[in-house]
Structure 1
Amino acid sequence: MSANAIAHLSVVRVTDDEDQKTTDALAIEEPLEIRLEYGPAGDRKSQNISVTMRTPGNDAELALGFLFTEGIIKHQSDTDLIAHCFIACAENKENVIQVNLKEGVTPILNNTERNFYTTSSCGVCGKASINAIKTVSAFENSQNVKNHISADMIYLLPAILQKHQEVFSYTGGLHASALFDSTGELILVREDIGRHNALDKLIGVALNNEMLPLNQHVLLLSGRASFELVQKAAMAGINIIAAVGAPSSLAVQLAEEFNITLVGFLRGRRFNIYTHPNRILLSKHEDSY
């Protein structure tokens, strides 16, 4: 847990009209500017790509995952250095992170028209046009790889995640993305005040560890499943997504198009399967759904 992820503030707590002064733990929300440097040695260019509201911690993973899921870079090996500006550039700015691309690597910037600012609740709402939203996955065909998980295992995933949501346990104010294998073993967890940031952090560390495509895993989202989260999952080759909350109609459409199994309203021993149910093994059937 990052020491900068939680703030402790004085509050007045009211219970049955009785008030008491105490302290409360809040998840910190701060801007992070993602800056890109690229080009030949004699003609390096610096470009501000985005500002996102995030919970501090795992910023390098966030920047890497963001650039990958936005289709700006194709591989982790495209990068030379990812560091905050007090290390990577002359400015002493902890909330600016710079990604230096290797010489000869040209970022794909033609489909990333964005307003400069995106909120913690929405990463897509900063996009300038609908045509700039949909990215093409390098692992699009990996969604066809055989991958199954039992319904009994899916039921257990939220409780496993909850035990590992360290900052959420203090603040109650963070989203989480978790990666499991098909046996239900937890592989990775990342938290953030922005659901899209949590997933970018998760994909960023997986990219760093050369785990992609993630076509033998299950992605669990602690909240709802939006279009942008399905899109980011598709970029990483994920073919099973389970969400505690509801999916949007556009998320269902994209999951159907990319051959992704999308599960929503995962609570207790209940869930809905919205797309491609064949990957979910039900105990009353010998084969998949």
Structure 2
Amino acid sequence: MTDSLSSSRAIVKYNQHRFTETTDKIVIEFPLTIYINNEEFATMVCSPQHFEEMVIGFLASEGVIHFKKEIKEMTLDEDRGFAYVQLHTEEIKNQQYFSKRFIGSCCGKSRQFYFQNDVRTAKTSMSTTTVTAEQCIELMRKMQEASLTFKNTGGVHNAALCTADELLVSRSDIGRHNALDKLYGYSLLNGISVRDKILVFSGRISSEILTKAAKLGVGIVLSKSAPTDLAIQLAEDLNITAVGFIRGASFNIYSHPERIVLHD
């Protein structure tokens, strides 16, 4: 199976007191600039796949749109790295909070207006979904196993929308936000309700990731990594179950543990 998100590169490897020439799989980093109504809106650094999902999910996450039908037309120039979006309205929602900006793929605060605008689009979860402890562990295993790029490079974040029993869709990207935006875009493009779904994520649960999960509308977030203190506070307030350190046969539940059960 080919991997379109990585490339091969000649390297020198050191091991056991010697150097050897070999090749390695390197994750691809790609800039995509978004124009809205012919105005430059943002440049995102991402993995070059599922652009339409990412753009739609990003615009929905930032409150520019709420539904796919608000987009009149979208044109992608994948070779040059441009996405042109025409909305049915000339006025961009919450435009006073936006400015032309660069959005990097690294960890940390990549949304300069996070507290001003994200809070407007986050939703308190109404999910009544439950999942067993064994299903949590199995969903994490399935997500990691499904990512060929992660196996080849170790250089991407993985995210998946799931039911308690199966992965519905998984996405990988060098940017953790991008991976979630792709899931958001996928759900909007395909008319999938996510209220009863589970978000499985490979990275740290920061306050930004938790807020993005709230925008998606999920009630359960499963992560291989740690949460932050602010993320746990937000999870408590937004009625989201946050589970971290899913490794081997153990994990920690940090908020609303009633959704994680021992048996069906």
TM-score (norm 1): 0.85
Q: Using the alignment, how far apart are the partners of 1:243 and 1:136 within structure 2?
A: 22
The equivalent of 1:70 in structure 2 is 62
Q: Using the alignment, how far apart are the partners of 1:145 and 1:219 within structure 2?
A: 12
Maintained 8 Å contact 2:3/2:148: no
Q: Does 1:207 align with 2:193?
A: no
Q: Using the alignment, how far apart are the partners of 1:229 and 1:65 within structure 2?
A: 14
Q: How many Å apart are 1:57 and its aligned residue?
A: 0.8
SS in 2 for 1:199: helix
Q: Runs of 4 or more off by more than 2 Å in structure 1?
A: 1-4, 80-83, 104-107, 109-115, 122-126, 128-137
Q: Does 1:268 align with 2:258?
A: no
Root-mean-square deviation over aligned CA pairs: 2.1
TM-score (norm 2): 0.92
Q: Using the alignment, how far apart are the partners of 1:136 and 1:202 within structure 2?
A: 16
SS in 2 for 1:125: coil
CA spacing shift, 1:154–1:126, aligned 2, 3 Å: closer
Unaligned 5+ runs, structure 1: 38-45, 87-92
Q: What pairs with 1:1-289 in structure 2 (closer than 5 Å)? A: 4-37=4-37, 46-85=38-77, 94-102=80-88, 104=89, 106-110=91-95, 112-114=97-99, 116-122=101-107, 124-128=109-113, 130-137=115-122, 140=123, 143-182=125-164, 184-212=165-193, 214-283=194-263
Q: Using the alignment, how far apart are the partners of 1:35 and 1:257 within structure 2?
A: 35
Report the structure number with the largest CA radius of gyration.
Answer: 1
CA spacing shift, 1:13–1:221, aligned 2, 3 Å: same
My pick for the range that moved more, 115-124 or 227-236, is 115-124
> In the comparison of the two structures, how many residue pairs are matched?
264
1:48-92 alpha-carbon deviations (Å, 9 max, x no partner):
221111111111111000000111101011112222247xxxxxx
Q: Using the alignment, how far apart are the partners of 1:49 and 1:108 within structure 2?
A: 13
SS in 2 for 1:275: coil
Report the identity percentage. Answer: 33
The equivalent of 1:89 in structure 2 is none
Unaligned 5+ runs, structure 2: none
Maintained 8 Å contact 2:198/2:220: yes
CA spacing shift, 1:168–1:133, aligned 2, 3 Å: same
